[in-house]
Amino acid sequence: MIRLSKLADYAVVMLSYMAAREGEVYTTARLAERTAVPEPTAAKILKLLARSALLASQRGSNGGYGLARPAADITVAEIIVAVDGPIALTACVQGSSDHCGVEQLCSMRGNWNKVNRAIRDALEDITLADMAVPFGVVPAIAARQEQGLA
């Protein structure tokens, strides 16, 4: 099974919560409480998101976090990258120096890039706004499915 880390899952949950009212500032404690994510873990995730400039942070008292951009401009791909690092399926992706033992096969392995690319594209097409829509129709996705692309 392809695994997405729980942290990335939490991240999307928290960001979606914040997307409900853009422009508002949320403290770690409040977000943790409302999303049922343990506070220290929530803090860790929020820091990561702030570092990647998906969240704007305000230090000091009355500080907190807010979305740095409109939810429709934040893709799921970005969130995953911020929390888990680059989206790629195998280690043998870019000409990383560790030789794969069987050099000829490595060239074949390079085709994972095609796969990675396909997945990245899929994730880049889904925005936080899409995720935040409860259940019903997610317009962007529905449109692509209409075209048989999704």
d(CA 72, CA 124): 11
Phi, psi (rounded to 5 degrees) for 111: -70, -10
As a whole number of angstroms, the distance between CA 32 and CA 49 comes to 15
Residue type, 74: I
Stretch that binds DNA, among 46-54, 97-105, 109-117, 130-138 (CB under 7 A): 46-54
DSSP 4: -
- When the beta carbons of 23 and 101 are compared against its own copies, the nearer one is 101
Which of DNA, its own copies, none does 58 bind, CB closer than 5 to 8 A by kind? DNA
Among residues 20, 23, 36, 60, the one that binds DNA under rule CB under 7 A: 60
**Cβ 149 to DNA, closest distance in Å?**
22
Exposure string (b/e) for 15-43, b if CB count within 10 Å is 16 or more?
bbbbbeeeeeebebeebbeeeebeeeebe
Residues 91-150 that bind DNA (CB under 7 A): none
Of residues 24 through 43, those in contact with its own copies by CB under 8 A are 34-36
Contact 54, 68 (CB under 8 A): yes
Residues present in the chain in total: 150
Which residues 110-149 are close enough to bind its own copies by CB under 8 A? 110-112, 114-115, 117-119, 121-123, 125-126, 130-135, 137-138, 141, 144-145
The footprint of its own copies (CB under 8 A) covers: 1-4, 6, 9, 12-13, 16-17, 34-36, 76, 80, 84-90, 92, 100-102, 104-105, 107-112, 114-115, 117-119, 121-123, 125-126, 130-135, 137-138, 141, 144-145, 150
